[in-house]
Amino acid sequence: MHVRRFLAAAGLLLVAGAARAETWQLTFEAYGGGLPLATGGLRLTVDGGKQYDARLESANASWFNMLTRFRYDAEAAGTVSNPSVAPLRFRGERNLRAKREVTALNYGAGAVSVHTEPPMNPEKASLVPESARRGSVDPLSAGIGVVVTAGGPVACTGTYPVYDGRRRYDITVRPAGTEMLEPSKRRMASGLAKRCVVSLKPVAGFQVDKDRPNRFFVQGQERSATLWFLPVQGRTIPVQVEVETDFGSFFVHTTGFTVTP
């Protein structure tokens, strides 16, 4: 399902660079093949540029309800120290039709504990042992780490070991110059944008017999996305994300942004 492929990209739609306690709110829309596929919003509070509390909400576009109903909500909290991030807790809830899945991660002394509803079977859980989880971060916190330096001298750098409750993968970020974004009715800003390329490399938890070619997470298959950043209201924010999949490129556009002290 195409909407599911936007979750990682939507998680990257965060804001960078506050020096005092602020709350940022973004809205976004995802498109594939010219069709709206998902909408959502992000509320992010950063205290002094170090402590963060984020909530992401996303759901399939209204016309998609004729085919299926999908919703994903995630929350994360922790501290950030450029360019690293140290989460304290994460919770993600995925609803597809009548099926509900919850993943909760808690962090302490480098260790990561995981709780899932319904419970994960032991065989699947053993694919990512405790030793492989150590030092990892959740996917939403990784998104914060990717963009929190977007307005500074170390923008678009770093590698984040991610564990999402099922899989371990590395997210690596590198700068890719600048590009002029032409005005578009789908996103809120245009102009000379900073480009960042994000790569996802599988590490553990990828089951060969279940990783079909039409899935986003495939064993041995690296994925990539491109982010474009622009200054908006004195903050450097991502205004566009392009995700590459086996079905072509899909886009997430920022449609609104507000800052509240």
- Counting Cβ atoms within 10 Å, is residue 30 exposed (0-12), middle (13-18) or buried (19+)? buried
- Position 230 confidence tier, pLDDT thresholds 50, 70, 90: very high
In angstroms, the Cα distances linking 194 to 156, 190, 226 are 9, 11, 10
Token pair in block for residue 77 = 């909290």
The structure's pTM equals 0.86
Average pLDDT score, the chain: 86
d(CA 195, CA 241): 10
Token pair in block for residue 102 = 């919850």
Token pair in block for residue 53 = 């509390």
Write the pLDDT tens digit of every residue in 162-218.
999 999 999 999 999 999 999 999 999 999 999 999 999 999 988 765 555 556 667
pLDDT of res. 134: 93
pLDDT of res. 244: 84
Count of C-beta atoms within a 10 Å radius of residue 143: 31
Question: What mean pLDDT comes out for the span 6-20?
Answer: 47
CA angle 85, 87, 91 (to 5 degrees): 135
Question: Is the peptide bond prior to 118 cis by the omega test (within 30 degrees of 0)?
Answer: yes
Say whether 217 sits in a helix, a strand or coil.
Answer: coil
- Position 236 confidence tier, pLDDT thresholds 50, 70, 90: very high
Burial 58-71 (b: 16+ CB within 10 A, else e): bbbbeebeeeeebb
CB 94 within 8 A of CB 110: no
In angstroms, the Cα distances linking 172 to 56, 90, 158, 195, 198 are 22, 21, 6, 14, 6
Question: What mean pLDDT comes out for the span 20-45?
Answer: 91
d(CA 195, CA 158): 15
Write the pLDDT tens digit of every residue in 61-92.
888 777 788 999 999 999 987 768 999 999 99
- Position 19 confidence tier, pLDDT thresholds 50, 70, 90: low
Residue 135 scores a pLDDT above 50: yes
